[in-house]
Amino acid sequence: MWERALAEIKLLATPIDFDDLIARGILQKAQHGWYWVLVPPKEWPDGFGRRIAAGQSSSKGLKVRFWSADKAAKLARRLGI
């Protein structure tokens, strides 16, 4: 179980390449740190769904916000990862 928690912290501590996801047509920038998800969940990259901190659904689709990689990285450093 500890290994699984460490793997999850490492995943969250890895910064998301938003420019790449936008260029690949997966995300579209919204306002105030939110992004529109343009593809269905089965087409999401590995670990993408676990990085979502909040989501809102509307007639335009799914809008999401992500966990801060900085906070996860600080936790990883405190744990010696």
In this prediction, residue 56 carries a pLDDT of 95
What is the per-residue pLDDT across 5-14, written as a single tens digit (0 to 9) for each? 778 777 777 8
Alpha-carbon distance 36 to 63, whole Å? 4
What is the per-residue pLDDT across 16-26, written as a single tens digit (0 to 9) for each? 899 999 999 99
Q: Beta-carbon neighbour count of residue 64 at 10 Å?
A: 21
Averaged pLDDT, 42-70: 90
What is the per-residue pLDDT across 28-51, written as a single tens digit (0 to 9) for each? 999 999 999 999 999 999 889 988
- Using a cut of 0.75, tell me whether the model's pTM lies above it: yes
Averaged pLDDT, 60-81: 82
| Closest C-alpha among 64, 23, 27 to residue 43 | 27
In this prediction, residue 33 carries a pLDDT of 92
Domain that holds residue 55: 2-78
Q: Number of folded domains in the chain?
A: 1
End-to-end CA distance of the chain: 16
